[in-house]
Amino acid sequence: MSDALSTLSLLDARILGVLVEKENTTPDAYPLTLNSLTSGCNQKSSRDPVMNVSESAIQAALEELRGRTLVLETYGASGRVLRYAQNFGKCYGLPTASVALLATLILRGALTVSELRANCERLYHFDDASSVEAYLEELAARSSGALAIRLPKQPGSREHRWVHLLCGELAIPTHSHEIDHTGMTARSELEERVSQLEQKVAELQAAISQIVGSPTTLQ
């Protein structure tokens, strides 16, 4: 894998995701200044996970990304303030639709196909869910290395979720109890309560039998 396409840090990925997003949602302010980029990285809404990163940390990450040509520097029309633009799609050889999907996964975490289609709308318009899935399958089957992967379906979920692999391979759980610890804990507690109730019912049956002098079964 070339240096430009080597594994990204979480901050590297967040910077690229923000640049892709803002290029489409606030084109008048793009390319972004360091201040605007910092605000986008630390944004509280539409971000998973939420970050709190300093300008100095973002500046250091930008230097690394610029060295890999994933980020380009420009002074824009004013020629006074240094600004930053993304070169993500060209470096990875990706169509606009795939860039939009990856940027959305970077910024919002694991999503289903229907969630991706809705959240990508301002970055790229997909005609239907099947077109979203087709691009995701292409990202998962890239000969140079998968950039996205479909997660095992969660208990009670109707759709699979997808995540990006730009920051490295995931440790994907293979058993449902590894996926949803909360659900398993709740189920264990319920089973314990049922067991306790069954024991109390048995004790009541024994007590009633002694009172009436014959076996009694509670309905």
* Total residue count of the chain as it appears in this document: 219
Two structure tokens written together for 96: 């606009």
**In the chain, % of residues over pLDDT 70:** 75
> Confidence band (pLDDT; 50, 70, 90) for 169?
confident
pLDDT band at 208 (very low <50, low <70, confident <90, very high): confident
Averaged pLDDT, 171-198 = 49
User: What is the average pLDDT across 209-215?
Assistant: 64
Instruction: Give residue 123's pLDDT band: very low, low, confident or very high (50, 70, 90).
Output: very high
Backbone angles phi, psi at 21, to 5 degrees: -60, -50
d(CA 159, CA 95): 25
Taking the chain, what is the end-to-end CA distance rounded to the nearest angstrom?
68
- In angstroms, the CA 5 to CA 40 distance is 23
Q: What angle do CA 79, 82, 86 make, to 5 degrees?
A: 115
pLDDT in tens, 17-46: 999 999 999 999 999 999 999 999 999 999
pLDDT at residue 175 greater than cutoff 50: no
**C-beta of residue 136 within 8 angstroms of C-beta of residue 113:** yes
Please, which residues bridge with residue 32 across strands? 84
Cα separation, 155 vs 134, in Å, equals 24
**Residue 215, SS3 per DSSP:** coil
What is the value of pTM for the model shown? 0.76
Angle between helices 10-25 and 96-108 (to 10 degrees): 120
Is residue 218 pLDDT above 80, yes or no?
no
Please say if the pLDDT value at position 2 is more than 60: no
Which of 165, 26, 164, 38 shows the shortest CA–CA distance to 101? 164
